[in-house]
Amino acid sequence: MRLHEYQSKEIFTEHHIPIPLGRLAATPEEAKLIAEELHGPVVLKAQVLVGGRGRAGGIRLVHSPDQAEEEAAKILGQRIRGVPVRRLLVEEAVNIQQEIYFGMTVDRARGETLVIASAEGGVNIEQVAQVSPEKIARVGVDPLLGLREFQARVLAAEIEIPRTLWRAFVAIALNLYAAYQDLDATLAEINPLVLSAEGRLVALDGKIIIDDNALFRHPTFFDKRDLSAEAPEEIEARKFGLSYVKMDGDIGCLVNGAGLAMATMDIIQSKGGAPANFLDIGGGANAEKVTAALRILLADPQVRAVLINIFGGITRCDEVAHGIRAALEEIETDLPFVIRLVGTNEAEGQRILADAKLETAATLSEAAHMAIRRAQAQEAPV
């Protein structure tokens, strides 16, 4: 679960990490009021969970409360990459002398938490990492010891933070690590961590991602999940224990197991087709789950044919076949279906599908081939 900037900053404050003065506004009038309180120039920042909001006009510097009201009205009305802006963070403008990157995440290749810092933070940090990896300082964290002061000092020295600020940097580093641990985060990031003209370190922007598997330990975050900022079909999928990712092709895929789902998409692509989505229905495939999956899949107007690929292991093919039939009785669709069922109780499953006059394929490549042909035969959607 990804937190909004303002939520991340609330956590920073709880952990004594300095942030700019400011508050959340839901209306232009509130933005004006906050700007009056703060005196001087303020920055308006759209609170959306998509990247590139600065380039999309979601961040603006204004010089008076009236201008704050005017600009806030514009930002609050707009959509950033399809997501409506409902709230703004109104903050004092900081005199930026240097933008530092500081963050931590789980490095699966090394099997540990990696803490990363760079003197060249800001929006281009990924580019810096690619073009000049030597500008990224990193230390691995022993899970039993946690991040230690000396490690934070190593980072401070390596990215050439002035010695007078080492103590402040070490405190921020250890406090962010504490927040990362307490919240079961898989990512905690301050970018940029600004060195201000007044010689202070301030967290200008922050991003925290909490491990969904650990949310049971943080029940208060369930209420903080901002559903308006997520794709509705992905919310619906999560409700039924499905995992769905939309793509650009025209062949809807419904598969059990993530690896097999990806392999199915690969075969479609290698034969010249284009998958419309990734959809893993997981273990077990009762009628309710299959129905929910098909409903999500068919809501995508780009889909022109559906390929169902089920390898019945623990899941029994006859159960899946019943599930597909029940789903198709409930959902009205004219789209062509190609179904491949293999594994436990395969023959019985095939018979159920044949009775329902559904097209089946014996092998995966045959299924992919048929689905591509069926999709091509369909009229392009209006």
Partner 1 sequence: MSILVNGETRLVVQGITGHEGSFHADAMLRYGTNIVAGVTPGKGGEWVLDGKVPVFDSVASAVEMTGADTSIIFVPARFAADAILEAADAGLDLIVCITEGIPVKEMLTVRYVIERHKACLLGPNTPGILSPPFTKVGIIPGGITCAGNVGVVSRSGTLTYEVVHALKLAGIGTSTCVGIGGDPIIGADFVEILSHFEGDSNTESVVLIGEIGGRDEERAADFIAEEMTKPVVGLIAGLAAPHDTRMGHAGAIIAGGVGTAAEKVAALEAAGVRMARSPEEVPGLVRGR
By CB under 8 A, which span of 105-113, 159-167, 325-333, 372-380 interacts with partner 1? 105-113
**In 3D, which of 314, 370, 375, 373 has the Cα closest to residue 340?**
370
Query: Does residue 50 touch partner 1 according to CB under 8 A?
Result: no
Q: Determine, following the binding rule CB under 8 A, whether residue 339 of this chain makes contact with partner 1.
A: no
Q: Is 233 a catalytic residue?
A: no
Site for partner 1 contains 365 (CB under 8 A)? yes
Tell me if 80 sits within 8 A of 58, measured CB to CB: yes
Q: Is 128 in the site for partner 1 (CB under 8 A)?
A: no
In the complex with partner 1, the residue whose CB is nearer, 145 or 382, is 145
* Chosen residue from 275, 323, 336, 349 binding partner 1 by CB under 8 A: 275
Smallest gap from Cβ 6 to partner 1, in A, equals 24
Q: Which segment (21-29, 95-103, 219-227, 361-369) binds partner 1 by CB under 8 A?
A: 361-369
Nearest approach, Cβ of 10 to partner 1 (angstroms)? 21
Count residues near partner 1 (CB under 8 A).
53
**Which residue of 33, 123, 247, 335 would you call a contact of partner 1, by CB under 8 A?**
247
Say which residues have a Cβ less than 8 Å from residue 160's Cβ, sequence separation at least 6: 119
- Helix-strand-coil split of the chain, %, nearest 5: 40, 25, 30
H helix or E strand, kind and range, residue 69: helix 65-77
Interface residue with partner 1, options 93, 119, 263, 328 (CB under 8 A):
263
Which of 29, 149, 266, 355 forms a contact with partner 1 (CB under 8 A)?
Answer: 266
Helix (H) or strand (E) holding 138: strand 136-141
| DSSP single-letter state for residue 259 | H
Catalytic residue of the set 6, 101, 177, 244: 101
Are the beta carbons of 193 and 100 closer than 8 angstroms? yes
Which member of 28, 121, 252, 257 binds partner 1 (CB under 8 A)?
257
In the list 98, 118, 151, 256, the residue contacting partner 1 (rule: CB under 8 A) is 256
Counts of helices then strands in the chain (DSSP H, E): 13, 18
Stretch that binds partner 1, among 7-15, 65-73, 126-134, 153-161 (CB under 8 A): 126-134
Contact 234, 32 (CB under 8 A): no
Note whether 226 binds partner 1 by CB under 8 A.
no
Dist. CA 102–CA 121, nearest whole Å: 8
Long-range contacts of 346-354 (CB under 8 A, 24+ apart): 346/312, 346/317, 348/317, 348/318, 348/321, 349/312, 349/316, 349/317, 349/318, 349/320, 349/321, 350/317, 350/321, 352/318, 352/321, 352/322, 352/325, 353/321, 353/324, 353/325
Stretch that binds partner 1, among 42-50, 75-83, 257-265, 353-361 (CB under 8 A): 257-265
Is there a contact between 348 and 327 (Cβ–Cβ < 8 Å)? no
Q: Is 111 in the site for partner 1 (CB under 8 A)?
A: yes
Measured torsion, CA atoms of residues 70, 75, 78, 82, in degrees rounded to the nearest 10: 180
Query: Which residue in 217, 219, 192 sits closest to 207, CA to CA?
Result: 192
User: Judged by CB under 8 A, which of 165, 260, 287, 298 binds partner 1?
Assistant: 260
At 246, give phi and psi (nearest 5°): -80, 140
Q: Does 344 bind partner 1 (CB under 8 A)?
A: yes
Burial (CB count within 10 angstroms: exposed 0-12, middle 13-18, buried 19+), residue 106: middle
Is position 319 annotated as part of the catalytic site?
no
Site for partner 1 in 163-202 (CB under 8 A): 181, 184, 186
Nearer to partner 1, 153 or 218 (CB): 218
Shortest gap between Cβ of 257 and partner 1 (angstroms)?
Answer: 3
Just list the catalytic residues: 101, 189
Interface residue list for partner 1 (CB under 8 A): 105-109, 111-113, 126, 129-130, 142-144, 181, 184, 186, 211, 213-214, 216-217, 243, 245, 247, 255-263, 265-270, 275, 278, 280, 282, 311, 313-314, 342-344, 363-365
